[in-house]
Structure 1
Amino acid sequence: MRPAPLSGLPPLVAGLFALAAPAGAETDFTDLTPTERAIFHSEIREALLGLPDLTQRIAPPPIDPYADAVENDLARIKAQADRLFAPDLPGFGPKDAAQTIALLTRADCAPCAKAEADLRKLTKGRDLRVTLIDMDENPDLVQALELDLAPSYVLPDMMLRGHMPAIVLKRYLTR
Protein backbone atom coordinates (compact mmCIF):
# COMPACT_ATOMS: atom_id res chain seq x y z
CA MET A 1 0.00 0.00 0.00
CA ARG A 2 1.38 3.35 -1.01
CA PRO A 3 1.22 6.40 1.34
CA ALA A 4 -0.87 9.40 0.26
CA PRO A 5 0.99 12.19 -1.60
CA LEU A 6 2.09 15.20 0.44
CA SER A 7 1.31 17.81 -2.22
CA GLY A 8 -2.01 18.92 -0.66
CA LEU A 9 -0.53 19.67 2.77
CA PRO A 10 0.70 23.06 3.96
CA PRO A 11 4.46 23.42 3.35
CA LEU A 12 5.39 23.23 7.04
CA VAL A 13 3.49 19.98 7.60
CA ALA A 14 4.82 18.47 4.36
CA GLY A 15 8.32 19.48 5.47
CA LEU A 16 7.83 17.70 8.79
CA PHE A 17 6.93 14.53 6.96
CA ALA A 18 10.01 14.88 4.80
CA LEU A 19 12.27 15.56 7.80
CA ALA A 20 10.74 12.86 9.98
CA ALA A 21 12.96 10.16 8.52
CA PRO A 22 16.74 10.49 8.17
CA ALA A 23 18.17 10.65 4.65
CA GLY A 24 18.18 7.28 2.96
CA ALA A 25 15.92 5.81 5.65
CA GLU A 26 12.63 4.04 5.07
CA THR A 27 9.71 6.51 4.73
CA ASP A 28 6.90 4.01 5.12
CA PHE A 29 5.16 5.40 8.21
CA THR A 30 3.26 2.15 8.67
CA ASP A 31 6.51 0.44 9.72
CA LEU A 32 7.20 2.71 12.72
CA THR A 33 7.67 1.11 16.09
CA PRO A 34 5.26 2.17 18.82
CA THR A 35 7.94 4.47 20.30
CA GLU A 36 8.72 6.03 16.90
CA ARG A 37 5.00 6.44 16.20
CA ALA A 38 4.49 8.22 19.57
CA ILE A 39 7.43 10.57 18.89
CA PHE A 40 6.20 11.24 15.35
CA HIS A 41 2.64 11.98 16.54
CA SER A 42 4.01 14.31 19.21
CA GLU A 43 6.08 16.24 16.65
CA ILE A 44 3.13 16.57 14.25
CA ARG A 45 0.87 17.69 17.09
CA GLU A 46 3.34 20.37 18.18
CA ALA A 47 3.67 21.60 14.60
CA LEU A 48 -0.10 21.80 14.11
CA LEU A 49 -0.65 23.57 17.42
CA GLY A 50 1.86 26.17 16.26
CA LEU A 51 -0.43 26.97 13.31
CA PRO A 52 -3.64 28.25 14.91
CA ASP A 53 -5.17 29.41 11.65
CA LEU A 54 -4.51 26.14 9.81
CA THR A 55 -7.92 24.72 10.65
CA GLN A 56 -9.60 27.96 9.64
CA ARG A 57 -7.94 27.82 6.23
CA ILE A 58 -8.91 24.18 5.71
CA ALA A 59 -12.41 24.25 7.22
CA PRO A 60 -15.25 24.84 4.78
CA PRO A 61 -17.35 27.95 5.36
CA PRO A 62 -20.33 27.45 7.65
CA ILE A 63 -23.52 26.48 5.88
CA ASP A 64 -26.85 27.98 6.90
CA PRO A 65 -29.46 25.41 5.88
CA TYR A 66 -32.22 28.01 6.29
CA ALA A 67 -30.60 30.83 4.29
CA ASP A 68 -32.66 30.23 1.16
CA ALA A 69 -35.92 29.94 3.11
CA VAL A 70 -35.19 33.16 5.00
CA GLU A 71 -34.30 34.96 1.77
CA ASN A 72 -37.54 33.74 0.16
CA ASP A 73 -39.60 34.86 3.18
CA LEU A 74 -38.01 38.30 3.09
CA ALA A 75 -38.74 38.62 -0.63
CA ARG A 76 -42.40 37.65 -0.07
CA ILE A 77 -42.72 40.15 2.79
CA LYS A 78 -41.19 42.92 0.69
CA ALA A 79 -43.48 42.15 -2.25
CA GLN A 80 -46.56 42.34 0.00
CA ALA A 81 -45.42 45.19 2.29
CA ASP A 82 -48.12 47.60 1.09
CA ARG A 83 -50.82 45.08 1.97
CA LEU A 84 -49.25 44.28 5.33
CA PHE A 85 -47.99 47.50 6.84
CA ALA A 86 -49.80 50.46 5.23
CA PRO A 87 -50.95 52.88 7.96
CA ASP A 88 -54.48 53.16 6.50
CA LEU A 89 -55.16 49.41 6.94
CA PRO A 90 -57.38 48.30 9.84
CA GLY A 91 -55.45 47.91 13.06
CA PHE A 92 -54.34 49.72 16.18
CA GLY A 93 -51.41 51.70 17.51
CA PRO A 94 -49.93 54.92 16.11
CA LYS A 95 -50.31 55.12 12.31
CA ASP A 96 -46.76 56.47 11.96
CA ALA A 97 -45.18 54.02 14.42
CA ALA A 98 -41.51 53.07 14.09
CA GLN A 99 -42.34 49.36 14.38
CA THR A 100 -45.01 47.49 12.49
CA ILE A 101 -46.43 44.02 12.67
CA ALA A 102 -49.26 42.42 10.74
CA LEU A 103 -51.45 39.92 12.56
CA LEU A 104 -53.22 37.50 10.26
CA THR A 105 -56.21 35.83 11.89
CA ARG A 106 -59.37 33.85 11.18
CA ALA A 107 -62.86 34.16 12.63
CA ASP A 108 -63.79 31.86 15.52
CA CYS A 109 -60.10 31.25 16.33
CA ALA A 110 -59.36 31.33 20.07
CA PRO A 111 -55.55 31.59 19.60
CA CYS A 112 -56.16 34.49 17.19
CA ALA A 113 -58.17 36.38 19.82
CA LYS A 114 -55.42 35.73 22.37
CA ALA A 115 -52.77 36.96 19.91
CA GLU A 116 -54.69 40.19 19.29
CA ALA A 117 -55.18 40.76 23.04
CA ASP A 118 -51.45 40.20 23.64
CA LEU A 119 -50.54 42.67 20.91
CA ARG A 120 -52.99 45.27 22.23
CA LYS A 121 -51.21 45.09 25.59
CA LEU A 122 -47.80 45.32 23.91
CA THR A 123 -48.76 48.50 22.03
CA LYS A 124 -49.36 50.35 25.31
CA GLY A 125 -46.44 52.72 25.75
CA ARG A 126 -44.69 51.35 22.66
CA ASP A 127 -44.23 52.88 19.21
CA LEU A 128 -45.91 49.90 17.53
CA ARG A 129 -48.56 49.69 14.82
CA VAL A 130 -50.48 46.41 14.46
CA THR A 131 -52.31 45.73 11.21
CA LEU A 132 -55.18 43.26 11.44
CA ILE A 133 -55.74 41.05 8.40
CA ASP A 134 -58.44 38.42 8.06
CA MET A 135 -56.93 35.38 6.34
CA ASP A 136 -60.28 34.25 4.92
CA GLU A 137 -60.93 37.66 3.31
CA ASN A 138 -57.39 37.80 1.85
CA PRO A 139 -56.65 34.29 0.52
CA ASP A 140 -54.36 35.64 -2.22
CA LEU A 141 -52.21 37.42 0.38
CA VAL A 142 -52.11 34.30 2.55
CA GLN A 143 -51.08 32.23 -0.47
CA ALA A 144 -48.45 34.78 -1.55
CA LEU A 145 -46.92 34.65 1.94
CA GLU A 146 -47.28 30.85 2.06
CA LEU A 147 -48.95 30.97 5.45
CA ASP A 148 -51.16 28.13 6.53
CA LEU A 149 -51.67 28.63 10.25
CA ALA A 150 -53.74 31.15 12.18
CA PRO A 151 -52.69 33.29 13.80
CA SER A 152 -49.57 34.29 11.93
CA TYR A 153 -47.44 37.35 12.54
CA VAL A 154 -45.54 39.20 9.84
CA LEU A 155 -42.82 41.67 10.77
CA PRO A 156 -40.77 43.52 8.15
CA ASP A 157 -37.96 41.00 8.60
CA MET A 158 -39.65 37.72 9.57
CA MET A 159 -42.81 35.65 9.70
CA LEU A 160 -44.04 33.68 12.69
CA ARG A 161 -46.63 30.94 12.35
CA GLY A 162 -48.95 30.11 15.21
CA HIS A 163 -49.70 31.87 18.47
CA MET A 164 -46.67 33.33 20.21
CA PRO A 165 -46.74 34.13 23.93
CA ALA A 166 -46.54 37.84 24.72
CA ILE A 167 -43.04 37.45 26.21
CA VAL A 168 -41.78 35.96 22.94
CA LEU A 169 -43.36 38.74 20.88
CA LYS A 170 -41.85 41.33 23.21
CA ARG A 171 -38.38 39.86 22.59
CA TYR A 172 -38.87 39.93 18.83
CA LEU A 173 -39.98 43.56 19.04
CA THR A 174 -37.07 44.67 21.25
CA ARG A 175 -34.24 42.96 19.39
Structure 2
Amino acid sequence: MESGVTDRLWDKDVQEFISACRQEKLSDIALGHSLGVNGRALLTVSATYRSRKGRIVPVGFRWADSRSGLTAEVYAGKAKAPARVGLDGLFRLALRAGLWAERRHVAFALLAVTDVQSKADGVRARLQLEYLKALGGNESESTALLVRGPYDSAGDPERKALIEQAGELTMQTLNDLAYLYGARSGLDTP
Protein backbone atom coordinates (compact mmCIF):
# COMPACT_ATOMS: atom_id res chain seq x y z
CA MET A 1 0.00 0.00 0.00
CA GLU A 2 2.78 2.41 0.93
CA SER A 3 4.65 2.29 -2.39
CA GLY A 4 1.58 2.95 -4.52
CA VAL A 5 0.61 5.95 -2.43
CA THR A 6 4.14 7.32 -2.12
CA ASP A 7 4.50 7.14 -5.90
CA ARG A 8 1.74 9.77 -5.88
CA LEU A 9 4.21 12.24 -4.37
CA TRP A 10 5.63 12.84 -7.81
CA ASP A 11 2.28 13.72 -9.40
CA LYS A 12 1.92 17.28 -10.58
CA ASP A 13 -1.03 17.99 -8.25
CA VAL A 14 0.81 16.73 -5.18
CA GLN A 15 3.89 18.77 -6.09
CA GLU A 16 1.68 21.87 -6.42
CA PHE A 17 0.25 21.19 -2.96
CA ILE A 18 3.76 20.80 -1.54
CA SER A 19 4.90 24.08 -3.11
CA ALA A 20 1.78 25.82 -1.74
CA CYS A 21 2.80 24.67 1.76
CA ARG A 22 6.25 26.26 1.36
CA GLN A 23 5.08 29.76 2.21
CA GLU A 24 7.51 31.67 4.37
CA LYS A 25 4.71 33.69 5.98
CA LEU A 26 2.85 30.59 7.20
CA SER A 27 3.80 28.06 9.82
CA ASP A 28 2.06 25.18 11.55
CA ILE A 29 -0.23 24.42 8.62
CA ALA A 30 -2.95 21.95 9.62
CA LEU A 31 -5.75 20.58 7.47
CA GLY A 32 -9.08 19.43 8.77
CA HIS A 33 -12.63 19.13 7.61
CA SER A 34 -16.11 20.20 8.57
CA LEU A 35 -19.29 18.52 7.46
CA GLY A 36 -21.19 20.34 4.79
CA VAL A 37 -24.43 19.76 2.97
CA ASN A 38 -25.43 16.09 2.62
CA GLY A 39 -22.65 15.03 4.99
CA ARG A 40 -19.92 15.95 2.52
CA ALA A 41 -16.59 16.74 4.18
CA LEU A 42 -15.31 20.21 3.29
CA LEU A 43 -11.61 20.92 3.67
CA THR A 44 -10.42 23.58 6.13
CA VAL A 45 -6.92 24.97 6.67
CA SER A 46 -5.45 26.65 9.72
CA ALA A 47 -1.99 28.12 10.12
CA THR A 48 -0.15 30.77 12.05
CA TYR A 49 1.34 34.02 10.83
CA ARG A 50 4.16 35.58 12.82
CA SER A 51 4.24 39.36 12.63
CA ARG A 52 7.49 41.31 12.55
CA LYS A 53 6.92 42.25 16.19
CA GLY A 54 6.67 38.59 17.12
CA ARG A 55 2.91 38.45 17.47
CA ILE A 56 1.41 35.06 16.52
CA VAL A 57 -1.84 35.43 14.58
CA PRO A 58 -4.01 32.47 13.60
CA VAL A 59 -4.99 32.57 9.93
CA GLY A 60 -6.99 30.13 7.90
CA PHE A 61 -9.73 29.03 5.56
CA ARG A 62 -12.99 27.63 6.93
CA TRP A 63 -16.63 27.07 6.10
CA ALA A 64 -19.30 29.07 7.93
CA ASP A 65 -23.08 29.05 7.97
CA SER A 66 -24.85 31.90 6.26
CA ARG A 67 -28.38 32.62 5.08
CA SER A 68 -27.64 31.06 1.71
CA GLY A 69 -25.94 27.95 3.16
CA LEU A 70 -22.29 27.29 3.79
CA THR A 71 -19.84 29.89 2.56
CA ALA A 72 -16.06 29.85 2.46
CA GLU A 73 -14.28 32.46 4.53
CA VAL A 74 -10.74 33.41 5.44
CA TYR A 75 -9.76 34.73 8.83
CA ALA A 76 -6.90 36.46 10.58
CA GLY A 77 -7.25 36.45 14.34
CA LYS A 78 -10.88 37.27 15.08
CA ALA A 79 -11.42 39.18 11.81
CA LYS A 80 -13.02 37.30 8.93
CA ALA A 81 -14.08 37.89 5.33
CA PRO A 82 -15.53 35.85 2.47
CA ALA A 83 -12.83 33.79 0.74
CA ARG A 84 -13.69 35.24 -2.66
CA VAL A 85 -12.75 38.84 -1.75
CA GLY A 86 -9.98 40.43 -3.75
CA LEU A 87 -6.66 41.70 -2.51
CA ASP A 88 -8.22 44.97 -1.31
CA GLY A 89 -10.64 43.00 0.84
CA LEU A 90 -7.74 41.05 2.33
CA PHE A 91 -5.98 44.34 3.15
CA ARG A 92 -9.12 45.46 5.01
CA LEU A 93 -9.21 42.13 6.83
CA ALA A 94 -5.61 42.68 7.98
CA LEU A 95 -6.60 46.14 9.22
CA ARG A 96 -9.50 44.66 11.21
CA ALA A 97 -7.06 42.13 12.68
CA GLY A 98 -4.92 45.03 13.95
CA LEU A 99 -2.00 44.48 11.59
CA TRP A 100 -1.93 47.84 9.80
CA ALA A 101 1.82 47.94 9.28
CA GLU A 102 1.85 44.41 7.86
CA ARG A 103 -1.36 44.44 5.84
CA ARG A 104 0.46 43.44 2.66
CA HIS A 105 2.17 40.45 4.30
CA VAL A 106 -1.07 39.33 5.99
CA ALA A 107 -2.97 39.61 2.71
CA PHE A 108 -0.42 37.42 0.95
CA ALA A 109 -0.48 34.94 3.85
CA LEU A 110 -4.26 34.70 3.45
CA LEU A 111 -3.86 34.15 -0.29
CA ALA A 112 -1.36 31.40 0.53
CA VAL A 113 -3.85 29.73 2.90
CA THR A 114 -6.49 29.81 0.16
CA ASP A 115 -3.99 28.31 -2.26
CA VAL A 116 -3.12 25.51 0.20
CA GLN A 117 -6.82 24.70 0.61
CA SER A 118 -7.42 24.68 -3.13
CA LYS A 119 -4.44 22.45 -3.91
CA ALA A 120 -5.22 20.06 -1.02
CA ASP A 121 -8.83 19.75 -2.15
CA GLY A 122 -7.63 18.77 -5.63
CA VAL A 123 -5.30 16.10 -4.27
CA ARG A 124 -7.64 14.72 -1.61
CA ALA A 125 -10.12 12.86 -3.86
CA ARG A 126 -7.42 11.17 -5.93
CA LEU A 127 -5.42 10.21 -2.86
CA GLN A 128 -8.52 8.82 -1.15
CA LEU A 129 -9.23 6.70 -4.22
CA GLU A 130 -5.67 5.33 -4.08
CA TYR A 131 -6.16 4.40 -0.43
CA LEU A 132 -9.50 2.77 -1.20
CA LYS A 133 -7.89 0.70 -3.93
CA ALA A 134 -5.10 -0.35 -1.58
CA LEU A 135 -7.43 -1.13 1.33
CA GLY A 136 -10.19 -2.77 -0.69
CA GLY A 137 -7.99 -4.77 -2.99
CA ASN A 138 -10.49 -4.65 -5.88
CA GLU A 139 -10.28 -1.57 -8.10
CA SER A 140 -13.82 -1.78 -9.51
CA GLU A 141 -15.36 -2.20 -6.05
CA SER A 142 -13.31 0.67 -4.64
CA THR A 143 -14.42 2.97 -7.43
CA ALA A 144 -18.03 1.92 -6.91
CA LEU A 145 -17.69 2.80 -3.22
CA LEU A 146 -16.82 6.36 -4.04
CA VAL A 147 -19.46 6.74 -6.73
CA ARG A 148 -22.24 5.71 -4.35
CA GLY A 149 -20.88 7.99 -1.66
CA PRO A 150 -20.21 7.37 2.01
CA TYR A 151 -23.66 8.43 3.24
CA ASP A 152 -25.98 6.25 1.16
CA SER A 153 -28.89 4.97 3.20
CA ALA A 154 -28.47 1.57 1.55
CA GLY A 155 -24.74 1.42 2.44
CA ASP A 156 -23.37 -1.35 4.54
CA PRO A 157 -21.17 -0.78 7.62
CA GLU A 158 -18.11 -2.38 6.01
CA ARG A 159 -18.25 0.04 3.11
CA LYS A 160 -18.64 3.05 5.40
CA ALA A 161 -15.76 1.88 7.59
CA LEU A 162 -13.52 1.42 4.54
CA ILE A 163 -14.35 4.90 3.23
CA GLU A 164 -13.78 6.46 6.66
CA GLN A 165 -10.44 4.70 6.99
CA ALA A 166 -9.37 5.89 3.54
CA GLY A 167 -10.49 9.43 4.44
CA GLU A 168 -8.50 9.37 7.68
CA LEU A 169 -5.39 8.10 5.89
CA THR A 170 -5.80 10.81 3.26
CA MET A 171 -6.06 13.58 5.86
CA GLN A 172 -3.07 12.16 7.73
CA THR A 173 -1.02 12.11 4.53
CA LEU A 174 -1.98 15.70 3.67
CA ASN A 175 -1.13 16.89 7.19
CA ASP A 176 2.18 15.00 7.09
CA LEU A 177 3.09 16.67 3.79
CA ALA A 178 2.10 20.09 5.15
CA TYR A 179 4.24 19.47 8.23
CA LEU A 180 7.25 18.20 6.29
CA TYR A 181 7.29 20.88 3.61
CA GLY A 182 5.81 23.84 5.47
CA ALA A 183 7.40 25.94 8.18
CA ARG A 184 7.30 23.85 11.34
CA SER A 185 6.53 26.47 13.97
CA GLY A 186 6.21 30.21 14.15
CA LEU A 187 7.73 29.99 17.64
CA ASP A 188 11.00 28.48 16.38
CA THR A 189 11.94 31.37 14.13
CA PRO A 190 13.65 34.39 15.68
Is TM (by shorter chain) over 0.5?
Answer: no
Normalising by structure 2, report the TM-score. Answer: 0.25
Structure whose CA Rg is larger: 1
Instruction: Report which of the two has the higher share of helix.
Output: 2
Considering Cα pairs closer than 8 Å and 6+ residues apart, tell me whether 1 or 2 has the greater RCO: 2
